[in-house]
Amino acid sequence: MNRLIRAGLMFGNLFHVHSPALVERYNRALLHLTGKRTELTDFYIDISGYSPEVGDELGDPLYLNHKGVNRQFILLSVEQRTAPLLNTKFSTSKTILQDFIGQNEAALFALTAKDAVAGELVNSVYDVSTAARLFDIRRITVDADTTGGTVKDAAKLAEMVDNFRESESGWYDDVLIAQMIDLAGKTGDVVRNPVSLKAMSFDQRNFWTAHFGGLYVFQDVAHPAVIAPAGKDGLDDLPLKYVFDASQRNNIAQFFQLNGLTQTILEARGIKSAAILRQKMDFILIDAVADQGVDLTGLTRADLRRLAREHSDILPPEFHTLGQLVNWAENGGAFPNVDSSSPVYFYTLRAADTPDAPLVNMLLAELAPKDIRQLFICHKDLFYATYAGWPDAKRAYVADFLEREYKVDKAGVRDALFGHEPALEVPPLPRKGKKPPPVPQRIAPVGPWGKAKRR
């Protein structure tokens, strides 16, 4: 993992806590939330205030996320908004924290100038000892205040000010005036500079959770289901009728199709589909030859073609099928027969333009794990776990590729792969004046892959 850390691909963009003032504020918040303190004077925190170093010191990687639910957070600066979320247990947590910081940026900027803001992502569930409890999590509410209770005191002071103004005897109420003066010393002038945080709640109906081996829960769709790639053990009590594991490829494909959650890369608008498929071929090639003693440093396009020729006997079927699709898109070659039973099927899909696109791309990354770029972008926890088991040659290649091709323009790469543009892409023409090949008529009504087969 040191290679990833040095390249800024792991623990990157964390917020540095190094000044005595910040450390003391962090400790006040930590004591307020957990009853613990850290003796460290220099450490890094993620968007939620979690620090790997503090976790090691306390011997508890979930010190801000007890039992993996109701995540607590510590905000020292609005700069934490751009930091990653480590030890993710629910896919919605980072988005909720980003939205909360964004919607309250001015107030948080003022509050964190003097104190830490501590809070919790609250729901009605305090443990998920059974998978069925996940379905009791319907709404997440953000509860936050400074460790000194500034927001609460400011609300109380604002109420006192209103009472003072509305009461005819306000000027004669010495007790009320004394209380207002005392609170104003803590909160400042709330009349001219109101101090408040917006009350924010978020629905949590479609989400991924790390619990029970990793589950994708889709409740708010026309045809609900749970996708459990790791297996369905311990999931007998779920309130949804359909639960599919990774072996039920056809059922998952049908679920995507019925809910309109995916589209084929070749039919997606505004992207260079053939180039994306060719890059997926490269990743599959590297995966196949990584343990063959091949030098994978500084590979050119010619080097990749040479490796494909020399090791054609060990290349998996998905490599050859993707090659046929690229040939069809660029040169009008024969269109391959692809359905959900094919190993390449999920490599040819991406999320459609829906609110759940990030969740769907995360699931597709797990169903097509040899696409290391999508795996890193969409499912970092699984990427890190998988990376640890790769041959060193592949680890070196992947780290170098991501540093060169992704890190330099993260937003551009994400937009190129997953963005949705109004303009329809026209595949490159092999010869001037020649029209691009149409989708074969026999399968055009249901898309280029045909209908998902029924069991």
The answer to whether residues 56 and 107 touch, using CB atoms and an 8 Å cutoff, is no
455 inside domain = no
Distance, CA of 51 to CA of 56 (rounded, Å): 9
Which conformational region is residue 391 in: left (phi greater than 0), alpha (psi within -120 to 50 degrees), or beta?
Answer: beta
100 inside domain = yes
The answer to whether residues 99 and 73 touch, using CB atoms and an 8 Å cutoff, is no
Chain centroid to CA 308: how far? 33
My answer on whether 281 and 413 are in the same domain is yes
My answer on whether 200 and 214 are in the same domain is no
29 inside domain = yes
My answer on whether 438 and 303 are in the same domain is yes
Distance, CA of 267 to CA of 439 (rounded, Å): 9
172 inside domain = no
Note the helical H segments in 221-300: 249-259, 273-289
In this structure, the dihedral spanned by the alpha carbons of residues 377, 378, 379 and 383, taken in order and rounded to 10 degrees, is: -30
The full DSSP string for 378-437 is H-HHHHHHHHTTS-HHHHHHHHHHIIIIIGGGHHHHHHHHH---SSPP-PPPSSTTPPPP
Q: What is the DSSP letter of 132?
A: G
My answer on whether 281 and 266 are in the same domain is yes
pLDDT for position 62: 95
Q: Output b/e per residue, 412-442; b: 16+ Cβ within 10 A.
A: ebeeebbebeeeebebeeeeeeeeebeeeee
Distance, CA of 92 to CA of 69 (rounded, Å): 12
pLDDT for position 159: 67
My answer on whether 214 and 313 are in the same domain is no
My answer on whether 226 and 345 are in the same domain is no
Beta bridge partners of 243: 226
Token pair listed for 232: 């369905």
98 inside domain = yes
If the chain, 455 residues long, is cut into consecutive pieces of 10 residues, what is the mean pLDDT of each piece?
89 93 96 96 97 96 93 96 95 95 90 90 87 91 86 67 66 66 61 67 93 95 95 88 94 96 87 91 94 88 92 94 90 84 94 95 97 96 94 93 90 89 51 50 40 48
Which residue in 343, 24, 385 sits closest to 213, CA to CA? 385
My answer on whether 218 and 274 are in the same domain is no
The whole domain housing 365 covers 248-446
- According to DSSP, the β-strands at 225-228 and 243-245 are parallel
My answer on whether 294 and 214 are in the same domain is no
Distance, CA of 451 to CA of 254 (rounded, Å): 8
167 inside domain = no
pLDDT for position 168: 67
Which residue in 417, 443, 253 sits closest to 336, CA to CA? 443
My answer on whether 376 and 276 are in the same domain is yes
The answer to whether residues 107 and 196 touch, using CB atoms and an 8 Å cutoff, is yes
User: What value does the CA radius of gyration of the chain take, rounded to a whole number of Å?
Assistant: 27
Token pair listed for 105: 């940026």
Query: How many Cβ atoms from other residues are within 10 Å of residue 411's Cβ?
Result: 8
Which residue in 225, 226, 230 sits closest to 212, CA to CA? 230
The domain tally of the chain equals: 3
Which helix or strand (DSSP H or E) is residue 245 part of? Answer: strand 243-245
My answer on whether 233 and 313 are in the same domain is no
Helix axes 273-289, 392-401, angle to 10 degrees: 160
Distance, CA of 242 to CA of 219 (rounded, Å): 11
**Cα separation values, 167 from 171, 194, 408, Å:** 8, 22, 62
Q: How many residues make up the chain in this entry? A: 455
My answer on whether 320 and 219 are in the same domain is no
175 inside domain = no
170 inside domain = no
Q: Classify residue 58 by burial, with Cβ atoms within 10 Å: 0-12, 13-18, 19+.
A: middle
pLDDT for position 162: 67
Token pair listed for 288: 């196949």
**Cα separation values, 47 from 25, 44, 108, 199, Å:** 16, 10, 14, 19
Q: Classify residue 385 by burial, with Cβ atoms within 10 Å: 0-12, 13-18, 19+.
A: exposed
My answer on whether 304 and 413 are in the same domain is yes
The answer to whether residues 60 and 70 touch, using CB atoms and an 8 Å cutoff, is no
The answer to whether residues 228 and 243 touch, using CB atoms and an 8 Å cutoff, is yes
Give every CB contact of residue 246 below 8 A, 6+ residues apart in sequence: 229, 230, 231, 366, 367
Both ends of the chain: CA-CA distance in Å? 42
